[in-house]
Amino acid sequence: MRHTLPIAPQFYVTAPQPCPYLDDRMERKLFTALQGDQAQRLNDALSKQGFRRSQNVLYRPSCADCSACLSARIRVADFVPSRTHRRIMKKAAVLRRNATSPWATEEQFALFRRYLDARHADGGMADMDVFEFAAMIEETPIKSRVIEYTRPPEGNGRRILTAVCLTDVFDDGLSMVYSFYDPDLTEMSLGTFAILDHIDIAREAGLPFVYLGYWVPGSRKMGYKAGFNALEIYKHGVWQPIGDPNAHKAELHPLSVDPIAEQVARISLPEARIRAE
């Protein structure tokens, strides 16, 4: 017979550190290990509750000063590209998509370093070396893909790697874990293009959502996500349309934060099936 038991991971909290999105704020994360034969099911379940994956860890912000980091996803069936989006897709028509297993390459790392040096030279990943980069790409206990985009060479030769996205595959969508691209091709809006293309991939695969990570009211770095229609945010334990982005400023207030014990108690875990002989 079968007995059904919940998967019961241990949750931990990181020490506070400077917030990468909002000035004069401190960041703290609630996290748990992602490992074992139930990793995919745990990842699917917690991702629907605002968690994100980093290698073999699942985390979501649990800050003492605010609850501004709101997980965001696009409803694929309801998304309608804007005029700007159609213009971006037209410019990107020269790009070719190639989905591969999560293996790191020297070409990827070279593009990654150029991207960081140009866009995030003072960020938390600025000192990442090739071994740490390989770990970011390859250390995944779930179904992941590397989506590469290449453009034609200027003369004869092989196509040029232009953009890369590490993508997780959920039971209900695609999660864009991390993207980087050629920083010199600003006119192509490659970050926005990658999201638009993932919407197409999800639609082709019959998956209802594309997960974008966190949207943060008041953060310029994250403001572009609100420009996608059919966007939902995970707030107060439910997914809801984002509506007016300015309506979420209350999440910047310390009183918006629930105690960590209450946060953990409300997490819904998947069930593990154990066969009894």
User: Whose structure tokens read 């696009």?
Assistant: 74
58 neighbors 52 (Cβ within 8 angstroms): yes
What is the pairing mode between strands 96-100 and 144-151?
A: antiparallel
Question: Using the 8-state DSSP alphabet, how is residue 218 labeled?
Answer: T
The two tokens of residue 133 are 């980069």
123 neighbors 157 (Cβ within 8 angstroms): no
* Rounded Cα–Cα distance for residues 73 and 75 (Å): 7
* 6: amino acid identity, one letter: P
pLDDT tens track for 14-73: 999 988 888 888 899 999 999 888 899 999 999 999 999 999 999 999 988 888 899 999
CB atoms closer than 10 angstroms to residue 212: 22
Decide: pTM greater than 0.85.
Answer: yes
Q: 218: left (phi > 0), else alpha (psi -120 to 50), else beta?
A: left
**DSSP element (H, E) containing 209:** strand 209-215
* Rounded Cα–Cα distance for residues 135 and 129 (Å): 10
Sign of the Cα torsion 107, 175, 67, 269 reads negative
pLDDT value for 272: 64
Would you tell me which CATH number, out of the four given (3.40.630.30, 3.40.50.150, 3.40.50.10540, 3.20.20.70), belongs to the domain 2-275? 3.40.630.30
116 neighbors 126 (Cβ within 8 angstroms): yes
CB atoms closer than 10 angstroms to residue 268: 10
204 neighbors 97 (Cβ within 8 angstroms): no
pLDDT value for 259: 85
pLDDT value for 23: 84
pLDDT value for 276: 42
- 3-class DSSP state for residue 136? helix
Compute the chain's Rg from CA coordinates.
Answer: 19
For every one of its 277 residues, what pLDDT tens digit does the chain have, with 9 covering 90 and above?
Answer: 444 556 678 999 999 998 888 888 889 999 999 988 889 999 999 999 999 999 999 999 998 888 889 999 999 999 999 999 999 999 999 999 999 999 999 999 999 999 998 887 666 677 889 999 999 999 999 999 999 999 999 878 899 999 999 999 999 999 999 999 999 999 999 999 999 999 999 999 999 999 999 999 878 878 889 889 999 999 989 999 999 988 887 777 777 778 888 888 889 998 865 544 4
Largest CA distance in the chain: 66
Domain ranges of the chain: 2-275
C-alpha closest to that of 245 among 30, 50, 68: 68
CB atoms closer than 10 angstroms to residue 119: 13
